[in-house]
Amino acid sequence: MYSIKEIFYTLQGEGANAGRAAIFCRFTGCNLWSGRERDRAGAICKFCDTDFVGIDGTMGGQYKTAEALVDAIQGLWPADQIKNKFVVLTGGEPLLQVDRNLTKRLHKSGFEVAVETNGTIPVPNGIDWVCVSPKQGAKLRVTRGNEIKIVFPQIDLQLVEFENMSFDHFFLQPMDNRNREENTNLCINACLENPKWRLSVQTHKEIGIREIYKHELCRLPKLSGIIRGGIVNTV
């Protein structure tokens, strides 16, 4: 059984895969915060701005089998595009639920499988792209992968603690709160001081991309090499 908040087709908005078409599958639940405001003050992660509570989002629900969940994901990918299939398993904390059976079936359907995790749970076999976003105060168990993306700044978090870990890409992403401009400047300065770090900007928020629904045909003409996948909804 997989408890899913939402599934949607969009463009990845941040990190090394920014701009890439992807299906996002958001799992409910997290081990660092309940997702409820009344628990935020006592949570390890206090700054999360993602709704991962309940199954009331787009295509959310309780999927009884991996096959059923993969069928739902597959149904959102453009039918005339059999290459470059990419799914991002996110949350909450997806590794509370993701298992080998699910990744096997995603691979069988032709998907490259990415996960966005807080790094507190070992990554199962079958994940092609591992993005780790550490949270200060949580024990980090995943110290290698494709990218580490630190929401910055965090109280008492020192970047030097991560710089010798085995990641291909090292990103700093400004914390999105009322101090976002100041946080962005801190990230920029940190990247200039140590070029190992790169700036990650949440472009999906900046330009308003949210969801592309396959079942609503786009009215734009189909350009050479460009998918006519659906309607872009903005928030």
pLDDT bucket at 205, cuts 50 / 70 / 90: confident
Q: What is the pLDDT of residue 203?
A: 80
Q: Which of 69, 54, 76 is nearest to 5 (CA)?
A: 54
- Tell me the angle at which helices 100-108 and 66-74 cross, rounded to the nearest 10 degrees: 40
Phi, psi dihedral angles at 172 (to 5 degrees): -115, 130
Q: Measuring CA to CA, how many Å separate 143 from each of 26, 95, 108, 122, 132? A: 23, 15, 28, 10, 8
- What is the tens place of the pLDDT at every residue in 187-200? 999 999 999 999 99
Structure tokens at 204: 């999906």
Read off the pTM: 0.88
Residue 218 has pLDDT above 50, yes or no: no
Position 100, amino acid: R
Q: Measuring CA to CA, how many Å separate 43 from each of 13, 33, 119, 142, 179? A: 26, 5, 16, 21, 21
b/e map of 89-114 (b: 16 or more CB within 10 Å)? Answer: bbbbbbbbbbeeebbebbeeeebbbb
Q: What does the pLDDT average to over 134-141?
A: 97
Q: What is the pLDDT of residue 212?
A: 52
Least confident piece of the model among 56-70, 153-167, 200-214: 200-214
Q: What is the mean pLDDT of the chain?
A: 90
Residue 31 has pLDDT above 60, yes or no: yes
CA distance linking residue 227 with residue 186, whole number of Å: 37
Q: What does the pLDDT average to over 130-137?
A: 97
Active-site residue set: 24, 30, 45, 48-50, 116, 204
Q: Where are the domains of the chain?
A: 2-234
The percent helix, strand, coil of the chain (3-state, each to 5) is 20, 25, 50
Position 125, amino acid: N
- Name the 3-class secondary structure at 103: helix
Task: Decide the pairing of beta strands 2-11 and 21-27.
Answer: antiparallel
Which residues does residue 5 pair with via DSSP β-bridges, in sequence order?
none
Q: Between residues 195 and 232, which one has the greater pLDDT? A: 195
Q: Which of 229, 203, 234 is nearest to 216 (CA)?
A: 229
Least confident piece of the model among 85-89, 136-140, 202-206, 221-225: 221-225
CA distance linking residue 194 with residue 81, whole number of Å: 40
Topology at the third CATH level for domain 2-234: TIM Barrel (3.20.20)
Least confident piece of the model among 18-27, 28-37, 138-147, 200-209: 200-209
Q: What is the pLDDT of residue 208?
A: 75
Structure tokens at 173: 């992403």
Residue 222 has pLDDT above 80, yes or no: no
pLDDT bucket at 207, cuts 50 / 70 / 90: confident
